[in-house]
Chain A
């Protein structure tokens, strides 16, 4: 089955720790994205990547970092510099920006 996997579904961390969220796709998509969603809000773009070894900041990149060493993988690191990291994180991929985006099931991160 083709799709996007995110792990883990729920993640708990102490304040001050960096944490890396996994995103893998086997759809052979070039573009991948990370979004953040807070309760009752829409999705906000953190980072996106159009091709391997290249990525761009989205609207709220501060406190986050990404890498794109393989086409299939686009991990997101939430650093200790992110002031309010508790949120629902969604990864997506698409053939390119104009095409349908496929979303993963999301990771709910709680930092205390």
Chain B
């Protein structure tokens, strides 16, 4: 299974941009890159996903390196409500009996007021 590597923790000031990195050097050509986040005492929630091109949605942006061996989740203006654990996960584009998403330990983002 292709694995991801993320920093254990990061800190950001409120209202500043946050760049959360993820390395996935063994990614295959058909793996999607997913990001989820987990607020304290809640289940994870989907943030964004992409394959090759950069993606934007109302929550965040996903920047994918040209070689796809790394990606960065960008929160444009961090708020206190963005304090959470962020998970970077790979999944195949085609369901061919592969195992489902594997959640690592993620990056714990702290936001300072």
Contact = CB atoms under 8 A, between A and B. Distances in A.
Contacts of A2: none
Contacts of B45: 103
Contact of A42 (B41, B93, B95, B106): B106
Give the interface centre of B32, B43, B46, B98 by most chain A CB atoms within 10 Å. Answer: B43
A97 B92 contact: yes
B43 A98 contact: no
Given A42-B103, A42-B106, A45-B100, A100 B49 contact: yes
Nearest to B87: A42
Given A33-B100, A35-B103, A101-B101, A43 B95 contact: no
Nearest to A91: B43
A96 interface: yes
Q: What class of interface size applies to chain A in its complex with B?
A: 20 to 34
Contact of B42 (A33, A41, A94, A105): A105
A74 interface: no
Contacts of A104: 43
Interface in A1-57: 31, 33, 35, 41-45, 48, 50, 56
B59 interface: no
B100 A31 contact: yes
A58 B93 CA distance: 20
Nearest to A101: B101
Interface string A85-112: 0001010101011101111111000000
Contacts of B112: none
Interface in B32-73: 32, 34, 36, 41-46, 49
Interface of A: 31, 33, 35, 41-45, 48, 50, 56, 58, 88, 90, 92, 94, 96-98, 100-106
